[in-house]
Amino acid sequence: LLYLVILGHVYDVTVGFKHYGPGQSYHMFIGHDATRSFVTGEFDQYTLELSDVSALKETELEQLLTWKDFYDKTYQYVGKLVGRYFDPVGQETPYYRYVLERAAKAKESKDDSSKYPSCNVEWKVEMGTRVWCTNRSGTGQERSWVGHPRKVAESNAAEIEANGRSVQFCACVPEELSEPHYVPFPGCEETAKSCIIPDQS
């Protein structure tokens, strides 16, 4: 039998012998919790520290939950490993709850940052940068509203960048929106559908 552990959850991966058997690429995962390696790629040799994910970014913790979902769907779940993630009676440890909370924050931040579609953007020498909104801007999928170009406030952009995600420069937001993260561009009417942003000299 081949048992793999991720986040304290144990799965029977025997049917995946060609991946997890002795001498195979993922054999290091068998018999102990090497959760961190799913993100870091530390496959060479197992150490106890490989079950510790506290140094990972929130977005990386979210990736681990995606891996766990994969094992839930693909292999037979057989139980819990007592240790970092579960106590002797099978209850979640404070450490595991903290990991889940941090992973949830990454998902919430991602959902929030993409709540409004990006503007269309073009640049021309004679006018600088133009941003505008249509009912297809951003995703390319048609929606029932057009929206107005808004600059993503620097404080929000810095937070997005710190979490390892790309910064949204301009968002198309609904007319009734009044969130501090989204502000009109200088010299652009709040009700405008298109704005010219002169290049900085």
Domain containing residue 13: CATH number? 3.10.120.10
Considering only 17-31, 55-69, 176-190, which range has the smallest mean pLDDT? Answer: 176-190
Residue 89 has pLDDT above 80, yes or no: yes
pLDDT-derived band at 36, boundaries 50, 70, 90:
very high
121 and 45 within one domain: no
Say if residue 13 is exposed, middle or buried (CB neighbours under 10 Å; 0-12, 13-18, 19+). buried
Residue 10 has pLDDT above 80, yes or no: yes
Q: Does 110 or 178 have the greater pLDDT score?
A: 178
Provide mean pLDDT across the span 135-159: 74
For the segment 52-75, the average pLDDT, to the nearest whole number, is 92
**Confidence check: pLDDT of 185 > 80:** yes
CA–CA distance, 191 with 184 (Å, rounded to integer) = 9
Do 118 and 107 reside in the same domain of the chain?
no
| Same domain assignment for residues 15 and 78 | yes
Instruction: Tell me: pLDDT of 164 over 50.
Output: no
DSSP string, the chain: --EEEETTEEEE-GGGHHHHSTTSTTGGGBTSB-TTHHHH---S---GGGG--TTS-HHHHHHHHHHHHHHHHHSEEEEE-BTTTB-TTSPBPHHHHHHHHHHHHHHHHHHHHTSSPBPEEEEETTTEEEEE--TTTTTSS--S---EEEEEPHHHHHHHHHTT-PPP-EEEE-TT---TTEEPPTT--TT-SEEEEPPP-
Counting residues of the chain whose pLDDT is more than 90, the rounded percentage is 45
Per-residue b/e over 156-181, b at no fewer than 16 CB within 10 Å? bbebbeeeeeeebebbbbeeeeeeeb
The whole-angstrom separation of Cα 38 and Cα 20 is 14
Using the 3D structure, point to which of 86, 111, 136 is the last residue of a domain.
111
94 and 173 belong to one structural domain:
no
Write out the residue range of the structural domain in which residue 18 sits.
3-111
Q: How many domains does the chain have?
A: 2
* Of the residues 84, 111, 138, the one at which a domain ends: 111
